[in-house]
Copies of this chain bind each other. A is one copy, B any other.
Amino acid sequence: MGEKILIIGGVAAGPKTACRLKRLMPDAEVTIIDMDSIISYGGCGIPYFVSGEVSDEKELRTTSFHVVRDEKFFNDAKGVSMLTRTKALAIDRKAKTVLVENLDTGEKKDLSYDKLVLATGSTPNRLQIPGADLQGVYFVNDMHRAMAIKDDLAKGRVAKAVVIGGGAIGLEMAESLTDLWGIETTVLEYMDQLLPRIVDPAFAGMLAKHFRDNNVTVFTGESATGLEADETGRVCRVITPKRAIDADLVIMSVGVRPRSELAREAGLQVSRQGGIEVNNCMQTSDPDIYAAGDCVEILNQVSGMKNIAPMGSLANRQGRVAADNIAGIPSQFEGWVGSFIMKAFECCIGGTGLSYSSAKVLDFDAAVAITAQSDRAHFFPTQAVIMLQMVFDKTSRKVLGIQGFGPMNDSILARINAGAGLIARGATIEDFSNLELAYAPPFSTAVDALNATANAADNIAAGRLRTISIEDFMNWMDNPQAKPGWAALDIRHPKEAAEFVDAFGNDLWKAIPYVNVRSRHKELPNDKMLIIICDAGTRSSEVQIFLDSVGLTNSLVLAGGFNAIRRIGPGWWPSQ
């Protein structure tokens, strides 16, 4: 018989490693153990199961050819022994055995291995607040909880819900509760914005407005301090420092931490953050033990920092690399860059690489370009404006990150995917200016939105474009007295500018249409900082250069223009 490979964990990285191993080493004896009875499921699909878009939980664990991936499937089709309801208690590295317990019978035994793979995943963080254990308070980390949530919904037990945590999973859950079940839903995020650290404030602002427009209440900078129960012991209220919110259901989605106790107890190296330490071959500090998935710590190729990246896509890639190396194929997992994408009702938000705020914290010489460009030819019927941001290092001119917000289709995906591989390789602004994205009017513009964003970054890096952040401009709009030397120069169509001229007065809000700036620039004051505003920022950039050339050198361009302002809405900052 072949080598004995034992894998602990049967959700994503574990099954991937097992199946790849059987393809590379058909003679190997591959065994997976998992504590759960339900294995090999697409956990990222849970919000769509809860919403009802996916009607049966089995759909999350069937193959593309409609066979359920259960024990029998792994045995018959894959030649992999799958032991469910089986818990690993301890690893004896010297004897190369794992002590396991059958959770149904209580029986314990040692399983021997030649190579061991830890795919133990992650465990959800639990807020240490009163009531966190009440009935009706759920995590979203396994199928049993997902089914319990859906059961509560189907039985009509839920009219109001609170989601604690404004990360991707929390927001996807909020959407599924609101959109399909019509539940009055509130999202609580203790940081100042949604998707903190992942996206920058302007993009989080667009997302928050879209959630609010879709009847989700969003409170940022606000944390749950306690949960209260009704007479039956079920949660009925969420308490924050500012208010009490009625809730028949609470989703607690405040991040995860690696499940690395087994590894630590076996003396393997585990990082301070709790991730199992691995090399590029996914090998732990014991060369006969590999690890992959949510339980490991990996290198971020942009920041150079090691951290936890609990994503199903990375788990699969790591599982493949682990299997390759066990089979003697020297493949490498070199790290991650942080690509993500998320549906949000009728919109989509995505990114790759670092946010501007992360880049600043990491001491990059970071700057940012924001554009509002058409996703396809402006004359094509399905055209829409997408907001893109490029974060770059002014010194090295390397692109550090991209973010996008647009309609719910694959237009943002197409730009994020274009950037991911290049950012991992340290590509520069020029590489993105010249990136040959596919063009035809139904799909893109001759100068693709991503190229245009790189061109804006190039102009900023070279000092040819001076911008003001959306936050600073919106703060000025809220309180113009705070910056007495500023005035807006609105170069949009006079009809579009009119309401602002009325509201702010002609001194604070000058309106000269773009096509007339060259002939009418003498009307402009030379003692003001002019904030040039158009719809997208493109015409404003041109006007800034022209004004410089006629001696009006005191101006800033509103990047992204009114397309950004409109998407964020009034009163966005700080949150209402």
Contact = CB atoms under 8 A, between A and B. Distances in A.
Interface of A: 12, 16, 19, 23-24, 26-27, 42, 44-45, 48, 53-54, 59-60, 62-65, 67, 73, 76-79, 168, 311-317, 320, 329, 331-334, 336-343, 348, 350-352, 373-374, 377-381, 408-411, 413-418, 420-422, 424-425, 427, 430-431, 433-444, 446-448, 451, 455, 462, 464, 492-493, 514-516, 518-519, 534-536, 539, 541-542, 545-546, 548-549
A48 B377 CA distance: 11
Nearest to A404: B438
A410 B316 CA distance: 24
Given A27-B549, A413-B444, A441-B48, A435 B464 contact: no
A470 to B, nearest CB: 19
5 contacts: A48-B442, A59-B379, A312-B446, A348-B443, A410-B410
A373 to B, nearest CB: 8
A228 to B, nearest CB: 34
B416 A413 contact: no
Contact of A434 (B334, B338, B455): B334
B518 A437 contact: no
A278 to B, nearest CB: 15
Contact of A546 (B54, B79, B430): B79
A352 B339 CA distance: 22
B60 A379 contact: yes
Given A342-B440, A410-B409, A436-B339, A317 B451 contact: yes
Given A417-B438, A438-B420, A446-B44, A433 B320 contact: yes
A79 to B, nearest CB: 6
A562 B438 CA distance: 28
Nearest to A415: B417
A313 B436 contact: yes
A86 B541 CA distance: 31
Nearest to A57: B379
Contacts of A535: 64-65
A446 B23 contact: no
A452 B436 CA distance: 23
Contacts of A19: 542
A76 B516 contact: yes
A377 B23 contact: no
A415 to B, nearest CB: 7
Contacts of A16: 447
Given A76-B516, A409-B410, A413-B443, 14 more contacts: A26-B548, A44-B439, A44-B440, A48-B377, A64-B378, A65-B535, A168-B440, A313-B446, A341-B443, A408-B442, A410-B411, A410-B413, A413-B444, A421-B431
A12 B446 contact: yes
A4 B443 CA distance: 37
Contacts of A315: 446
Nearest to A424: B436
A373 B65 CA distance: 11
B23 A542 contact: yes
